[in-house]
A and B are shown apart, each in its own frame.
Chain A
């Protein structure tokens, strides 16, 4: 059951959304959470359902859907977190999902989360929601912040004006939550009966024509402004970055000059540096560098520790299996293949992913990330996309799987372009290989070599983007419209917990399920058919076959085989190189001496190998994610072919240039 991409606004949609299995399908009446981005909806959702939640996708859409269970005094509710949107009128996938759900009448109660520090803007969505369903409770969130800003809101007056209950809460401190639960229970009881009796979707619907929608938008904005002005008082305007209200008390002053400045405004002052003409790009470079440095060097000792743990486990498992009389063809793939291979993936990925994504989430929470998109937009516009593409590249530096998924923040065709080019951003898995290898081979020049490869990757990514936007996805370019929220101090604890749960564990689990079978396959290829030494094995024959293909690139055949093996997970390339180079019979024998791996190579060969390995192709897991996000084999194939083509071109060019220079 795949919903149509968009539908007429007025169509009364009565389709029931299937419950996500495992989230307690028949868990009683449904409570839907709606709200603007940044209203605190996710924080409220987590406070309501705690750990009893499940994150998935809306059927047929790449819009995240979180669902959980809430129990209040023996009554159980199913809580559905709707996508955060500014409106319900437009046809973005998020808004269609939210609108259809509300029109479907499935929710016994819809909680609209409203930011009490920005009432005027948030009331707009509350009012729109009321057009779709009358069964609404307004949660007036961030009351702690409003209090500290001196904003007072007359909740009773607001409730009268809206015609629904209004409960002041703070999702962060938890104050007001018991009261909200009580109101929700009562509302569900009063309204839920109607749902069960089939009295669904008593909404008046929304206007369908563009002119009607525009008129309604205007009306609702007027209403929100007047209502916000009537029910709230106080609040030092200009306290929060860009949050000063330009709408109140308009003065027709000649230039609007001094009085409209927000001198002494923390966010505005910070923005003068962060988005300033001179500092913006150096600052971004320093930030990217710092994040990478912290990740690599912070993760290294943890990785080493985990690696030792897995080696010990492998030795233990081997001893155990041997004493149980297990034959070599079981022992080998299980221990040398899977345990060591998967151990390698976990010990490299877990610490880097954890550190990297916590750092990124902190940047996100602080409000810095939207500024990066703001700064970079012009650059990416020239390549054919927009500033938010920079953010999915940033995520890709950690791991291309979340990198690909984060393209969702963009509209088509920018989203697809970002999905297909993300693997050209070298992930931590690759950086974790090329940095030590080039340090071993090039000595102190190694850092420069890695920086060069990073620059070439960036060029390849922009080139791929340019190609896709000019050749494959021509047509109307959506613009760039984005809110720049005020800076704030991130809440460390929630950031860490959420990142670990949403990003790290998920990706890690999937990485292991992909890496495990492939490392077993690699073991068999490197050991069978047995008897004729490495040359006789499947891997040996592959190497002989690939040899001539590597010649124009200046890369030895066995290195190409290793690169091919690293499609399982880029981290294993070092182990694979040891196998195909005849230095070891299994991934296990590899950790030993990276220096011996590249022994006898020329500088040009080593550089080209590192370059080709970096650009080559997304790992299997990323390819699978690309397919899930595009739902198209054609586009996924393009996402594999494009980096391969670019890798070939760039490596070929590098070899030619190198030969001319006499390297």
Chain B
């Protein structure tokens, strides 16, 4: 039995809830860059850390650690289990 899930922006992952599975990416000039880095639907992402001033955010995806700003991370939507 799969637990219930919901879809939240990637930027809401954090030390509490670290992992999510990408559902979709919303438009913007950065979409292709994100896709090329492996941010494609069905891929798992994991929150790694925040920069000392709160932005950018680092995520682990497909074997590498990628930093992006909150703005871009807000355009990526991930599926997470319902609490």
Interface residues of A (CB under 8 A from B): 86-87, 89-91, 118, 120-121, 124, 210, 213-214, 217-218, 221-222, 225, 241-247, 250, 252-257, 260, 268, 271-272, 275-277, 280-281, 370, 374-375, 377-379, 381, 387, 476, 478-486
Contact = CB atoms under 8 A, between A and B. Distances in A.
B56 A374 contact: yes
Given A244-B60, A381-B55, A260 B18 contact: yes
28 contacts: A86-B37, A87-B32, A87-B35, A87-B36, A218-B40, A244-B60, A246-B44, A246-B45, A246-B61, A247-B44, A247-B61, A250-B44, A252-B5, A254-B81, A255-B18, A275-B49, A281-B52, A375-B53, A378-B51, A378-B54, A381-B55, A476-B29, A480-B56, A481-B34, A482-B66, A483-B37, A483-B66, A484-B67
Nearest to A91: B32
B66 A484 contact: yes
A121 B64 contact: yes
A377 B69 contact: yes
B6 interface: no
Given A90-B32, A481-B72, A255 B17 contact: yes
B62 A260 contact: no
B67 A480 contact: yes
Contacts of A271: 48-49
Contacts of B66: 481-484
A378 B56 CA distance: 7
Interface string B21-63: 1000000011111111110111111101101111110101111
Contacts of B44: 246-247, 250
A89 B40 CA distance: 15
Contacts of B5: 252
Given A246-B60, A247-B44, A480-B68, 16 more contacts: A90-B33, A91-B32, A221-B40, A221-B43, A222-B40, A246-B62, A252-B3, A252-B5, A257-B18, A275-B58, A280-B51, A377-B56, A387-B56, A480-B69, A482-B66, A483-B66
A483 B38 contact: no
A256 B15 CA distance: 10
A10 to B, nearest CB: 15
Most buried by B among A210, A247, A476: A247
A444 B49 CA distance: 42
A479 B3 contact: no
Interface of B: 2-3, 5, 16-21, 29-38, 40-46, 48-49, 51-56, 58, 60-69, 71-72, 81, 83
Nearest to A283: B52
A118 B34 CA distance: 18
A479 B65 contact: no
Nearest to A38: B64
Contacts of A476: 29
A89 B34 CA distance: 12
Contacts of A221: 35, 38, 40, 43, 62
B18 A213 contact: no
B41 to A, nearest CB: 6
Contacts of A217: 32, 35-36, 40
Nearest to A214: B35
A523 B58 CA distance: 56
A124 B69 CA distance: 24
Given A86-B37, A217-B40, A374 B51 contact: yes
A491 B46 CA distance: 31
Nearest to A249: B44
Contact of B58 (A253, A484, A486): A484
Contacts of B67: 370, 374, 377, 480-484
A252 B79 CA distance: 10
B52 A479 contact: no
A479 B18 contact: no
A587 to B, nearest CB: 47
A378 B71 CA distance: 12
A332 to B, nearest CB: 56
Contacts of B51: 275, 280, 374-375, 377-378
A370 B33 CA distance: 18
Given A90-B32, A214-B35, A246-B46, A120 B63 contact: yes
Given A218-B41, A252-B2, A277 B83 contact: no
Nearest to B18: A256
Contacts of A480: 56, 67-69
A484 B19 contact: no
A276 B55 contact: no
A424 B57 CA distance: 29
Contact of B63 (A118, A222, A257, A277): A118
Most buried by B among A254, A256, A277, A486: A256
A91 B61 CA distance: 23
B3 A118 contact: no
B23 to A, nearest CB: 13
Contacts of B53: 375, 377-379
Contacts of A210: 31-32
A377 B30 CA distance: 17
A261 to B, nearest CB: 8
B41 A255 contact: no
A485 B63 CA distance: 10
A247 B16 contact: no
Nearest to A259: B19
Contact of A483 (B52, B54, B65, B72): B65
Contacts of A280: 51-52
B55 A377 contact: yes
B43 A247 contact: yes
Contacts of B3: 252, 254
Contacts of A375: 51-53
A91 B19 CA distance: 31
A486 B48 CA distance: 13
A367 to B, nearest CB: 10
A219 B68 CA distance: 23
B29 A241 contact: no
Given A217-B36, A218-B40, A247-B44, A374 B71 contact: no
Most buried by A among B46, B62, B69: B62
